[in-house]
Structure 1
């Protein structure tokens, strides 16, 4: 990135990334923009996130709440108290406190596979979750409570992932949630991005 900037091939060392939404009606493709971001893929807001003082975790944001609503209007609150979490594109899952994971298990009928450290989703559960058409909203801020907030709402389809060989013997659907052992593991991974 620095070499490209020094050669004036891109305007800065920043970048914008969007995973896309191939499950949506418009089949939105992924995007990587070097030297800036694609304004057509963002929604204007006044939220600014500052870098964390913890140099081991570059980008840390406050997750003030995680809620869901399904097509019948049933609502769930998955985060009893706000937490600080890293934003990390090198992991797929969303790492949350055990209590939050158990609330997800209850709401979505998930069962944790401790051996593979996954929440597998069989065909029956997959059809049920698709039919519920649940959306999950993350309320974010610079801290775990108060101040300016930003709500990001994702459809269930964003959480409909597959693990494939060599990580599993064959392709397996899973819900990309992971049980964090401690608060340093709280992370919003690629699923969120």
Structure 2
């Protein structure tokens, strides 16, 4: 919880400060945050049965890096979509992130963990050590997903400026069109002095 309280505002502040000077900053911050979080989270999981305090510290800093992207992702979703479609885009972004993250990942980790348990002790009840290791190894899937996400954010940084410019142009064109008087709505002139 504390890492979220620190990470989300820190990401928003970094994004606001850097995007003015460098248009790709939002996507790069998200990508780097995920890639920095990955080794911290992996080491934290590896050290759980060796060191009592190190995993908490590593997870705290890993989660701060992971939480950098929450406000920025919402911002990016809005500025690469034209205004009439922004609420739908934001709703889909929230739906997909929760569907694959909050809702889907515990199930996936559980399925992998159960498969590893069965593979380790196919005929007998698995020991506590086997249960622990199975869950620990299954959780490494989250690190893999973080790396993929970081790579996708860095790829996004190659296109985000052009996409934002396209949306800005579309908004400007729509404003110009709405400001021009329409000839079909103009009152008809009085013909013949009547």
TM-score band w.r.t. shorter chain: under 0.3
Larger Rg: 2
Which structure dedicates a bigger proportion of its chain to strand?
A: 1
Which structure dedicates a bigger proportion of its chain to helix?
A: 2
TM-score for both structures, normalised by structure 1: 0.26
TM-score for both structures, normalised by structure 2: 0.26
